[in-house]
Amino acid sequence: MAKVEVLTRKDVRDLSVVGGGLEILDWVMYDTLTIANGGTQAEFKFFQQAVGPGGITLQDTNMDLPGQLSNGFKLIAQKLVVQPIMSALTIAALKDAYEVSHKGVAVFYIGTRDYFKVPIVNLLGGGFLGFAATAVGGGTLEVAYAMPKTVINGELEYSPSIPSTFTFSVVLSYPAAPTVAVGLKVRTSIVGKLIRPRQG
């Protein structure tokens, strides 16, 4: 026999998006930077830009403030993901994506202290699967790039909490500036729970 679930007045109030108290949402905080062709930069610090200034859009980041959360907000970090964003499936773009994702180290900072440090490849949001070593018409390459919903190696089981009063960042550091044939965008995401005041 199926169980009938009844919401109490308190249950309904807790689900409301308006009123006093806090709401808890599934959330992905993301930021995107470009690794330039011929660049000399060997370190890239994410979550230091916000939507608006300098033509930064929601395509680049969903940060409202550079480097920290809005007042009264808190982010429970549960997973880190790094994704190279290829503009085309060419041999050059594939080599660039491999170059920036399979070298270097990722470090997650809250304030001045590191809370997670792993090779970047451990955070790859997907994998290079099933590609051949032969060119197909005009130097392009047929590639299967799988992007699973979960990334086991990026899990933060202890789920650190980022308060609005602290800065935070994810830094990708390489032994030398990555050598890319074309400018390649890289997106870093922090997946978790956003806690914020309700509206009203």
Say if 12 falls within a structural domain.
no
Say if 13 falls within a structural domain.
no
pLDDT in tens, 102-117: 999 999 999 999 999 9
What is the rounded CA–CA span in Å between residue 107 and residue 61? 19
DSSP readout, 36-93?
-TT----EEEES---SSGGG--TTTB--SBTTBPPTT-EEEEEEEEEEEE-SS-BHHH
Say if 162 falls within a structural domain.
yes
Range(s) of the domain holding residue 81: 26-197
Residue 95 has pLDDT above 60, yes or no: yes
Say if 9 falls within a structural domain.
no
pLDDT in tens, 73-94: 999 999 999 999 987 778 888 8
Say if 102 falls within a structural domain.
yes
Say if 38 falls within a structural domain.
yes
Say if 109 falls within a structural domain.
yes
**Chain length of the chain:** 200
Predicted pLDDT at 186: 95
Count the domains in the chain. 1
Say if 168 falls within a structural domain.
yes
